[in-house]
Amino acid sequence: MIAIQIKNNTGFSLMEIMIGIAIVGILTGIALPQYQTYVAQTEVIRAVTEAKSLTPIVEMCIEHQYTTVAAGTACQNTFQGSNILVGNGNGIADLSTGEGAPTITINIDFTANISATLGGNATNVLNSSLVSLDRNSNGRWTCTFSGNVKYAPISCPVAAME
């Protein structure tokens, strides 16, 4: 008769557990900064998108030869507010507490600017960063970002230092 030895399974050794914890710690140390950068980038993209949503309003104002954004006119700001922006915007009837809006400037030569300042619930590294959309007199819009270059989307590069 063949004797079968049954080995008692005692679980993981302390060394195996420590190695597993070290591996998880290293992966977390690498992943967390990457995730934080990703979150900041998406918030900048969101601010750009929110600012770009106002370009048709500016075009409507210019079409009607308005240089002021005002409620009750063909040049009315319909922005609803954003929790990652700060500032009161202009031509907006009501903003909820903790929300901000971009500021619209239309010049007499029909160049224009839409400026969105990040803050509020945005990632701390973005506080006071500015997304700026500028319209030239030919109707071409360009976007610039005033924050750290690693958070800037391709469509809205960091403004060149003068």
Q: What's the predicted TM-score (pTM) here? A: 0.82
For the segment 34-45, what is each residue's pLDDT rounded down to a tens digit? 999 999 999 999
What are the sequence ranges of the domains in the chain?
Answer: 15-151
123 and 110 in contact (C-beta within 8 Å)?
no
Fold of 15-151: Glycoprotein, Type 4 Pilin (3.30.700)
Within 13 Å of residue 23, how many CA atoms lie on the same side as its CB? 6
Structure confidence by residue, pLDDT tens digits, 92-148? 767 788 899 999 999 999 999 999 999 999 999 999 999 999 999 999 999 999 999
Task: Give the total residue count for the chain.
Answer: 162
Q: Under a CB-based contact definition with an 8 Å cutoff, are residues 85 and 101 in contact?
A: yes
